[in-house]
Amino acid sequence: MEENILTTLKLLIIGESGVGKSSLLLRFTDDNFDPEQTLTIGVDFKTKRMDVDGSAIKLAIWDTAGQERFRTLTPSYYRDAQGAILVYDVSSAASFSKLGNWLNELETYSTKSNIVKMIVGNKIDVENREVSREDGLKFARRHQTLFIEASAKTKDGVQSAFEELVHKIIQTPGLWDS
């Protein structure tokens, strides 16, 4: 039987090196967590299907393949993306303080002005938290993005992060259907 694929969406995952971008992607696509992972080397993107209101949506989720360390993400990485997940590590105030830079990158390179943004505070399972939920939420409100806290390790919030992002994209006229 032919399947009704509504659309393919391009999503990005950005943020400082080590915040858990690849781990969040692996948790979402394969429901797996590998603390020894070397995913950061070489993975371009993963695909995953998601059902929204009875229609299948195909997600193409781009990982940075470690390029963020060298500040060498290219315009083609950002091109035509409808959604972006901006990740920081709640146990690293430094990673949180860099979120503004990542928003600027999106501002500079996004080809869709109404790209939907989801800020994810990752690693909430760790003991030594440096960024409160309130501060994360405040930042997200100020920049009009979605917000969630998550743990790639325990799964908390991971599914919701992607689902809420996709729902917002689907609700945004002209972003995916033109």
| Cα 112 from Cα 5, distance rounded (Å) | 22
Structure tokens of 2?
Answer: 């032919």
8 Å CB contact between 22 and 151: no
Please select the residue that binds ligand GDP; options are 1, 2, 3, 35, rule is CB under 6 A. Answer: 35
For residue 146, which of 113, 174, 168, 123 has the smallest C-alpha distance? 168
Contact status: 22 vs Mg ion (CB under 5 A): yes
Which of 35/173 has CB closer to ligand GDP?
35
Contact status: 42 vs ligand GDP (CB under 6 A): no
| Total of chain residues touching ligand GDP, rule CB under 6 A | 17
Looking at residues 34 to 63 of the shown chain, list those that interact with Mg ion (rule: CB under 5 A): 40
The dihedral of CA 68, 69, 74, 77: what is its sign? Answer: negative
How far apart, in Å, do the first and last CA atoms of the chain sit? 27
Contact status: 151 vs Mg ion (CB under 5 A): no
8 Å CB contact between 86 and 127: no
Smallest gap from residue 114 Cβ to ligand GDP (A): 26
Which of 40/122 has CB closer to Mg ion?
40
Residues that bind ligand GDP (CB under 6 A): 17-23, 35, 39-40, 122-123, 125-126, 151-153
